[in-house]
Amino acid sequence: MRKTLLESLTHGPLTEAPPAPDEAALAELAKNVDKAAQARLGRSLSIRAVDAGSCNACELEIHALSNAFYDLERFGLRFVASPRHADVLMVTGPVTKNMREALLRAYNATPDPKWVVAVGGCAADGGIFRGSYACLGGVSDVVPVDLHIPGCPPSPTALLKGLLALLQHVAGK
């Protein structure tokens, strides 16, 4: 025990430092997402996250958008507690059999216009859980999907880029 304590005091952390995100690019990206939402909706975007059965790593990246560094709300974008107040459903994970009904209810409770964003490889086609007895497959096997953001898990910047691409695509229609 004493040896472990001494080692922890004399050795640095074993994890690698993460690459520093470009703050200016990030701010510009988030501002563009908000501008596109204002043009399309006349207000900022509201997002409801739905975990349909993920391993939770995708959630960690989504939650990071609200942390002190990314602080998405300073650009007006916000996560809401109810699908009734949401414009976008951000769905993670493969859809498990137990979460199918909850996902459908969240989808039906979201007012139009609504968009579904499938986050991560599992949300696309079940990913590493594909074929499991507990899973139905990807999000599009249960509800219509407007955009898939790839990654395992996708970074917060990739999530913002995906939202921007979605709003620009919708505005161009």
The alpha carbon of 143 is separated from its chain's Cα centroid by a whole number of angstroms, namely: 17
Residues numbered 132 to 171 that lie near ligand SF4 (CB under 6 A) are 152-153
For ligand SF4, which stretch binds (CB under 6 A), given 13-21, 39-47, 50-58, 73-81? 50-58
Of positions 30, 33, 50, 58, contacts ligand SF4 by CB under 6 A: 58
Q: What is the DSSP string of the chain?
A: -HHHHHHHHHS--SSPPPPPP-HHHHHHHHHHHHHHHHHHHSS--EEEEEESS--SHHHHHHHHTTSTTT-GGGGT-EE-SSGGG-SEEEEES-EEGGGHHHHHHHHHHSPSS-EEEEESHHHHH-GGGTT-TTEEESGGGTS--SEEE-SSSPPHHHHHHHHHHHHHHHHH-
Interface residue with ligand SF4, options 77, 88, 92, 136 (CB under 6 A) = 92
Per CB under 6 A, the segment of 64-72, 103-111, 115-123, 130-138 that binds ligand SF4 is 115-123
For residue 127, state whether it binds ligand SF4 (rule: CB under 6 A): yes
- Please select the residue that binds ligand SF4; options are 121, 137, 138, 162, rule is CB under 6 A: 121
Stretch that binds ligand SF4, among 7-15, 21-29, 54-62, 63-71 (CB under 6 A): 54-62
Residue 36 makes contact with ligand SF4 by CB under 6 A: no
Q: Work out how close the CB of 71 gets to ligand SF4 at its nearest, in angstroms, rounded to a whole number.
A: 23
